[in-house]
Every structure is written in C-alpha cells, then in structure tokens.
Structure 1
Amino acid sequence: MTSLWLADSEQTDRLGEALARTRPANAVVYLHGDLGAGKSTLARALLRTLGVRGSIRSPTYTLVERYPLAAGGEAWHLDLYRIGDPGELEFLGLDPAEASLWLVEWPERGAGGLPAPDLVLEMAVEGDGRRVNARSCSDIGAAWLVRAGLDGAVAVDS
C-alpha cells in the first residue's frame, strides 16, 4: 500500500493528473472516504487531464455522469452515496464493457453490483490536508501505481 500526504487541493489535483497521465486503457478505481475527503476533487482533476471539457459535475444526485475522453473511450464517474441497496445499480443500465474508466465514490454501497477494482484510493481528512492510501487490487492497478511513481511513495512532491 502507498500512503500519500496531500497538503492542499493543488496536491490533490496533481495526484489526479499523475494518475490520468499514466492510466491504463481500461481500469476501475474505487474512491473511499467520508464527505469532504476530496474524492470528487481528485476525480475532476483526473477527468480534466484526460481531456474532458466543460462542466464536470458531481454525480451526487444523478448517481452517474458519463464523459467522452479525448483519446477515445468513455469515463464513468459514479457517486453511490444515495443508493440504499446494490440492486438499485440495475436501474442505471451500467454495462462494464461500455466504459474504459470507472471512478466510483462510495463503492461499498454497490457491493456485488460493480466490477472489481484495479485501484482503491482511501481518502481521509488529516489536519489541514488529506491522507490517501493507494492500494492495487490487480496487475493493472499495480502497474499503474508504478507508472505514476506511486509505488511505495510517502508524499506528493510540490
């Protein structure tokens, strides 16, 4: 597991940028953390770096936002905070083959109805900043952390 200290939102953006620049062709990322931990901020930075233009909305009420990527493919940003049962995912019409990148906030609420993660990011407020624990869950995720320079990292450089 990799542990990162992010002093501010700029460092959160830089982490998202590093992950975007090195992302695999297809990946599933679970974003864990309490409200205000920085999950949506990280997702926005990642999507912006992948070429998403215009508004990048939080899917808090829509549950899923779909974004075409500049290099091809589509990213899905899900926020499952408001679902009560994983069975509700059926109504979203999510086909794992349609998205090349899944960014899933509150994935524990969709347990059993989501594709397995390649990368898990656990985010928490710590003092004035954020602590991010990054864990690979597949060969894809492990290689991604290496490409991003995050395997064994303890900080994101300024």
Structure 2
Amino acid sequence: MSVISLVIETPESMGELGATLAAELVAGDLVLLNGELGAGKTTLTRGIGVALGVRGAVTSPTFVLARTHPRERGAPLVHVDAYRLGSAVELDDLDIDFAASIVVVEWGAGMLDGVADSWLELDIDRPHGGDMEAEVEPRQVRVTGHGPRWAQLGWLDAARH
C-alpha cells in the first residue's frame, strides 16, 4: 500500500488534482472518494471529467446513484454516489461495467470487497472550527493506492513539484 498526503488550497486546485489523476486513469480503474459533505469530492470528479474530455457537465449523482459520462474516445467516466447504498452487493446491483469504464465512487468506503483488486482511495478532510468568514479553506487529502495497479504513487508525488 502506497500513501501520499497533500494540501489542496482551493477548489481550483482540487480540480487540478482531478486532472492529474485523470492523466493516469484507464478503463478498469476505480477511484474511491471519502469525505464529508462539501469536502470537494464532486469538484475533484469534475476535474477528472474535464481532463478526460467527457460530454456533459459532471454533477453530483446523488439522486440517480450513478451517472455515465461518455467520451469521444476512450472509456466512459462513471460517477457513483454510494451514500444510500448499504453494501458491495448493492453497488454491484448498479450493473456498472467496471472493466470497460473509469469509475469514481463517492461515499463508497467498505463497499469495494470483490469489486476490484486495485483501487485508488482519496480521503479528503476539510477543516473544522477554522475561520468562518473564509470563503476558501485548504483541504488535507490522503491518497492511498490499494493493490498492484496503484502500488507506486511516485507519479503523483512528482506532479506536486
């Protein structure tokens, strides 16, 4: 397991992190996003979508559970909101073609058993008790690579510099 910690200062920087991730993503990749409401999960996914060149706006799939964003070339981006799902079985019931898609799952902690051998997990922490007047507050992001596909995260560390 490989882990890198980042400080993301602005929503624009969160989108840029998404673009950096997108450069590494291929069909069959799974990205898990953890963080409370307003942490930046959808902003990061939007950055992935823009960099991948998906059609349509990337918005939170809260009410539809999963939204597929096709691309002119390459694997589609599937954006999942697993907040109302209770298990990996329910995630599997969404009938997502994991092998042929790039899948980003928000709120999916503990639901990846049997879904994939490798995934990239991002834990996004937003500050509490900080400056209530501040419009933008930095986020702490911990990126963890699980499985052989994400055993090395040196590409992400290099992108920070």
What is the TM-score normalised by the length of structure 2? 0.81
Structure 1: distance between partners of 2:113 and 2:12: 34
Aligned mate of 1:81, from 80, 83, 106? 83
2:157 matches 1:150: yes
2:145 partner letter? S
Q: Which runs of 5+ in 1 are unaligned?
A: none
Query: What residue number does 2:149 align with?
Result: 140
Contact 1:89 1:113 in 2 (8 A): no
Residues 82 and 107 of structure 1: CA distance in aligned 2, closer, same or farther (over 3 Å): same
Distance of 1:95 and 1:71 partners within structure 2: 17
TM-score (norm 1): 0.82
Q: Alignment length, in residue pairs?
A: 151
Q: Which runs of 5+ in 2 are unaligned?
A: 131-136
Higher helix share: 1
CA RMSD for the aligned pairs?
2.3
In structure 2, the partner of 1:124 is 125
Structure 1, residues 1-50: CA drift from partner, whole Å, max 9, x if none? 11000111011011111111233443111111111111111011011100
Contact 1:3 1:133 in 2 (8 A): yes
Residue pair 1:28, 1:116 contacting (<8 A) in 2 also: no
Distance in 2, matches of 1:142 and 1:90, equals 25
CA distance in 2, matches of 1:114, 1:106: 15
- Tell me what 2:21 maps to: 19
Whether the 8 Å contact between 2:29 and 2:98 is mirrored in structure 1 is no
Distance 1:34 1:122 in 2: 9
CA contact (8 A) 2:34 2:108 kept: yes
**1:91 Cα offset (Å):** 3.6
2:11 to 9, 12, 15: 9
Contact kept, 8 Å, 1:80 with 1:109, in 2: the verdict is: no
Aligned to 1:28: 30
Give the corresponding residue for 2:133. none
Q: Deviations over 1:52-90 (max 9, x none)?
A: 132212111111111123431222111100123443334
1:146 partner amino acid: G
